[in-house]
């Protein structure tokens, strides 16, 4: 029996565990299905993987990292940072790796969560007063549903399950998708593969990245001055958060963002069919704006082809696009993103009366304070509904959620073991969702004319997105208030 069971050891799960330890709470376990911590950064090892927010923002506020070598951290560096954080914060004894949570059921009589997980050594059972899920929203690779994919003769690899042994040199490679992973992997494959064909269903808005090495003198100065690291982080956070103005269609911010992207395209791609194919027909910011200096130049190469339509079906040695073009290929790289609105964990969580979270979410994902769900006492979701930013770093939002959980734990400790569990009422959740919907109104996300992984097709709502700034998320949700949970303070 533990106080807290955390599912997932990515950025969010590790942040929770670190903060628990720092507060002297040792009664917890972190259950992680993978063989290592890191989540996203353990799983995404494709060539070119990197952060798309400035490196100082991709570190915990409570564990500043002064030594990033580049303006944008490389995926392997983030992974190393997370592993080091776990080690130095003494999480080892609490971590259960290769532990896949199969079922977590609320036991109303005992007022506990009963968790069952599969491990290489058999089944692990844990009872916990509080369950925190930190299973990620970009953790389940999405394979496109195109006929013939299984019959393709060559290797097929998803960017989030890269095979380090895969040698694409000299092969004709199809890359499916033009989202955040594609713009990173395509420039790496160009020149290495004999030919690269990029299947684009929808063009992305792309702005300059201006990546560069951080000069050693600057890094040294930051190493010597932790206050400067914190100041830089706050400054960058505020700068990115200001990007919310464009998403709210405020002028001139929206026009400036659109012009920046169009000028970038015009500077890198000469006028003509290719530039036209790369020009989005929806509003900038509706999907995540991508950062790249080398994606467009890669598409200009003689050995790279932009196929301006979606992959339609696959044959043994070829891929056929919506345009009717047939491309002979030896390998396929799926940069097709993730399943976001139907997380497998929802099938595995059972609240009051044995009802699964998937059943609760049959009409779409939702949660109060982006964190708690009616019918699921003492359950807190990190990185779930309305906890994804479309314009800035995930870490600040996840940290704010962890603060909410810590407040809830303090409350439970104060009220004692016999106190009622924390559970929100339906109407409390409904009121929160109305608040969020009001924030969406008038933004580019609502009527920008794009489809995106933020939207839940069951409800039609932008169920994953927090449609405001990171600072507003923090102000609204970081502090735990017992009142919405029907508890006295
Ligand atoms: C390629 C890529 C680049 C990105 N770049 C950025 C960026 O630059 N900036 C940014 O803000 N965000 C970025 N993101 C988003 C990124 O996912 C978040 O920033 C952050 O890493 C999410 O952390 P998390 O802990 O919520 O989830 P994850 O990192 O996904 O971790 C979830 C963990 O839960 C585990 N898990 C899931 N189910 C179970 C189960 N049933 N039992 C046990 N364990 C389970 C998984 O194995 C995983 O380790 C990027 C995402 C990708 C895919």
Tell me the domain boundaries of the chain. Answer: 2-37+91-140+339-477, 149-210+236-334
Same fold, 2-37+91-140+339-477 and 149-210+236-334: yes
Q: DSSP character for 2?
A: E
Q: Which atom of ligand 1 is least distant from the CA of 72?
A: 8
How far apart CA 337 and CA 269 sit, in angstroms, is 26
Q: Which atom of ligand 1 is least distant from the CA of 100?
A: 42
Structure tokens at 366: 């939702």
**Would you tell me the crossing angle of helices 394-415 and 470-477 to the nearest 10 degrees?**
10
Q: Which atom of ligand 1 is least distant from the CA of 40?
A: 29
- Residue carrying the six token digits 């079906």: 313
C-alpha 256 to ligand 1 mean position (Å): 31
What does 298-358 look like in DSSP terms, one character per residue?
A: HHTSTTEEEE-S-EEEE-SSEEEETTS-EEE-SEEEE---B--SS-THHHHEE-GGG-BHH
How far apart CA 400 and CA 123 sit, in angstroms, is 33
C-alpha 176 to ligand 1 mean position (Å): 21
| 284 three-state secondary structure | coil
| 152 three-state secondary structure | coil
Per the CATH hierarchy, to which homologous superfamily does domain 149-210+236-334 belong? FAD/NAD(P)-binding domain (3.50.50.60)
Sheet containing 304-307: give its strands across.
156-158, 331-334, 172-176, 195-199, 304-307
How long a stretch of residues is the chain? 489
State how far the alpha carbon of 435 is from the alpha carbons of 168, 369, 399, 429, 476, in Å: 49, 10, 21, 10, 11
State how far the alpha carbon of 381 is from the alpha carbons of 136, 279, 376, 387, 446, in Å: 10, 37, 10, 9, 24
- For 93, other C-beta atoms within 10 Å of its C-beta total 8
Structure tokens at 300: 């200009």
pTM for this entry: 0.97
Q: Walk along the chain (489 residues) and give the pLDDT tens digit of each residue.
A: 999 999 999 999 999 999 999 999 999 999 999 999 999 999 999 999 999 999 999 999 999 987 899 999 999 999 999 999 999 999 999 999 999 999 999 999 999 999 999 999 999 999 999 999 999 999 999 999 999 999 999 999 999 999 999 999 999 999 999 999 999 999 999 999 999 999 999 999 999 999 999 999 999 999 999 999 999 999 999 999 999 999 999 999 999 999 999 999 999 999 999 999 999 999 999 999 999 999 999 999 999 999 999 999 999 999 999 999 999 999 999 999 999 999 999 999 999 999 999 999 999 999 999 999 999 999 999 999 999 998 899 999 999 999 999 999 999 999 988 889 999 999 999 999 999 999 999 999 999 999 999 999 999 999 999 999 999 999 999 999 999 998 776
How far apart CA 48 and CA 188 sit, in angstroms, is 6
Q: Which atom of ligand 1 is least distant from the CA of 46?
A: 1
C-alpha 285 to ligand 1 mean position (Å): 22
Pocket perturbation via mutation, ligand 1, pick of 36, 39, 48 by most ligand atoms within 8 A of CB: 39
Q: Which atom of ligand 1 is least distant from the CA of 338?
A: 53
How far apart CA 19 and CA 17 sit, in angstroms, is 5
Q: Which residues pair with 74 in a beta bridge?
A: 50
C-alpha 301 to ligand 1 mean position (Å): 33
Smallest CA-to-CA distance from 366 within 396, 389, 346, 337 is with 346
Pocket perturbation via mutation, ligand 1, pick of 6, 8, 73 by most ligand atoms within 8 A of CB: 8
Sign of CA dihedral 91, 94, 98, 103: negative
Query: What residues does ligand 1 touch, defined as CB less than 6 Å away?
Result: 7-13, 31-34, 39-40, 44, 49, 51-53, 58, 100-101, 134-136, 138-139, 181, 345, 382-383, 393-394, 398
C-alpha 66 to ligand 1 mean position (Å): 22
State how far the alpha carbon of 258 is from the alpha carbons of 183, 202, 364, 444, 469, in Å: 19, 16, 31, 12, 19
How far apart CA 244 and CA 440 sit, in angstroms, is 11
Contact in structure between 370 and 467 (CB atoms under 8 Å): no
**Would you tell me the crossing angle of helices 75-88 and 11-22 to the nearest 10 degrees?**
20
- CATH code matching the domain that covers 2-37+91-140+339-477, chosen among 3.20.20.80, 3.40.50.300, 3.20.20.70, 3.50.50.60: 3.50.50.60
- Residue carrying the six token digits 């995106």: 452
- Which protein residue's CA is at the shortest distance from atom 52 of ligand 1? 40
Smallest CA-to-CA distance from 222 within 239, 240, 235 is with 235
C-alpha 108 to ligand 1 mean position (Å): 31
Smallest CA-to-CA distance from 398 within 387, 410, 386, 409 is with 387
């Amino acid at each position: 029996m533990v106080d807290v069971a955390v599912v997932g050891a990515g950025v969010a799960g590790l942040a929770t565990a670190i903060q628990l330890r720092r507060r002297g709470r040792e009664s917890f376990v972190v259950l992680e299905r993978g063989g290592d911590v890191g989540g996203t950064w353990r799983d995404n090892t494709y060539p070119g993987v990197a952060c798309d927010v400035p490196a100082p923002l991709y570190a915990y506020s409570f564990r500043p990292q002064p030594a990033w070598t580049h303006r944008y951290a490389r995926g392997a560096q983030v992974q190393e940072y997370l592993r080091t954080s776990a080690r130095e914060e003494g999480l080892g004894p609490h971590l259960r790796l290769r532990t896949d949570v199969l079922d977590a059921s609320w036991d109303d009589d005992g007022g506990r969560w009963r968790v069952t997980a599969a491990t290489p050594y058999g089944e692990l059972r844990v009872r916990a007063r509080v369950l925190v899920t930190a299973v990620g929203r970009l953790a389940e690779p999405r394979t496109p549903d195109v006929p013939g994919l299984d019959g393709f003769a060559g290797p097929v690899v998803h960017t989030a399950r890269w095979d380090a042994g895969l040698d694409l040199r000299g092969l004709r490679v199809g890359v499916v998708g033009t989202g955040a992973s594609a713009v990173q992997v395509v420039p790496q494959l160009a020149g290495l593969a004999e030919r690269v064909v990029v299947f684009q269903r929808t063009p992305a808005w792309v702005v300059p990245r201006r990546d560069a090495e951080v000069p050693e003198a600057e890094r040294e100065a930051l190493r010597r001055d932790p206050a400067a690291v914190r100041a830089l982080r706050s400054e960058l956070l505020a700068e990115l958060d200001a990007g919310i103005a464009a998403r709210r269609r405020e002028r001139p911010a929206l026009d400036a963002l659109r012009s920046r992207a169009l000028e970038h395209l015009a500077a890198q791609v000469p006028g003509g069919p290719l530039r036209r194919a790369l020009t989005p027909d929806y509003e900038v910011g509706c999907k995540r704006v991508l950062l790249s200096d080398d994606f467009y130049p890669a598409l200009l190469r003689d050995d790279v082809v932009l196929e301006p339509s979606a992959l339609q079906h696959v044959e043994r040695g070829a891929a056929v696009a919506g345009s009717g073009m047939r491309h002979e290929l030896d390998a396929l790289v799926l940069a097709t993103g993730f399943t976001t609105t139907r997380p497998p964990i929802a099938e595995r969580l059972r609240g009051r009366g044995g009802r699964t979270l998937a059943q609760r979410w049959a009409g779409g994902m939702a949660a109060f304070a982006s964190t708690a769900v009616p019918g699921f006492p003492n359950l807190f979701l990190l990185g779930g509904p309305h906890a994804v930013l479309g314009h800035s770093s995930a870490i600040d939002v996840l940290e704010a959620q962890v603060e909410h959980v810590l407040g809830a734990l303090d409350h439970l400790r104060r009220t004692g073991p016999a106190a009622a569990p924390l559970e929100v009422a339906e109407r409390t959740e409904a009121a929160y969702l109305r608040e969020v919907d009001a924030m969406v109104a008038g933004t580019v996300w609502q009527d920008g004319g794009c489809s995106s992984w933020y939207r839940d097709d069951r409800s039609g709502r932008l169920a994953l997105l927090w449609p405001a700034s990171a600072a507003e998320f923090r102000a609204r949700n970081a502090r735990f208030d017992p009142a919405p949970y029907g508890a006295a303070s």
